Amino acid sequence: MTFAMVVFASIGQILRIAHPNRWWFLALSLAAAAAAGWFVSSSYSPISGPTPLHKALEAYVELHGVDMLKWGTFFNRLRIVGIALLVAGSVATFLVEVKDAAELQEQLRGFKALFNSGSVFLLAAVLEVYALLRWPVLLAGADAVQTPLQTAAATMAGATGALATVVLMSVYIATTQVLRQQALASGIENKTIDELLSKFGFGDLASEQTLRIAQALLPLVPGFINVLK
């Protein structure tokens, strides 16, 4: 569900690009997302490679006859594809090159939907990583086995959350700053720009900045909490 929200919001932003460039950008974005999902998952998957964590997961999968590793690979690819589309939608937001206040408002409205759906999607992705890596703990009887598995799961969830936070902060800062510069270059008054940015929660007020930063930091929460346990 959260993945579908990101796809919908991203494609919505891409389709705002003028015809026929929108179709080239959409095709390129989908191809890049698919390639990233296929290649990156095999290189950076938390369930790939001859690591102790991978061996433990593989052992429990074979012992209990479940397909957790296959599902893990699927969700890992889904996560990478979602991140790629989030970035593509953010880039498309300022490729439109706003010319007036009405266009700026439409782009900010679309980017708000994309950013909100992206933060929820990446939080769900981090929770999925933690759940995938932690489930053998329920089957491991000895504390000597449970503790390393819990620590590894929390660490990987924290690393995934850090990556998600970097992505969210990057698209937030880059997109809003480029949109502001485009609007100024088009002759839109600075007061109008500030009002529109504030309307969609991207203004310079401390409360608005705090909300957006909190959204960007949200994927860090699961790993951070479990590391402290």
Q: Can you tell me the distance from the alpha carbon of 171 to that of 115, in angstroms, rounded to the nearest whole number?
A: 8
| pTM confidence score | 0.82
Number of H helices, E strands in the chain: 9, 0
DSSP string, 121-181: HHHHHHHHHHHHHHGGGGT--SHHHHHHHHHHHHHHHHHHHHHHHHHHHHHHHHHHHHHHH
Average pLDDT over the chain, rounded to whole?
80
| pLDDT band, very low/low/confident/very high, at 213 (cuts 50, 70, 90) | confident
Q: What is the pLDDT of residues 65-95, one digit of tens each?
A: 556 666 677 778 888 888 999 999 999 998 8
20 cis-preceded (ω within 30 degrees of 0): yes
As for how many domains the chain has, the answer is 1
Q: Which of 13, 207, 221 is nearest to 113 (CA)?
A: 13
Q: Which domain holds residue 8?
A: 2-228
Q: What is the pLDDT of residues 152-170, one digit of tens each?
A: 777 778 888 888 899 999 9
| pLDDT band, very low/low/confident/very high, at 2 (cuts 50, 70, 90) | confident
Q: Can you tell me the distance from the alpha carbon of 178 to that of 28, in angstroms, rounded to the nearest whole number?
A: 22
Mean pLDDT of 34-62: 63
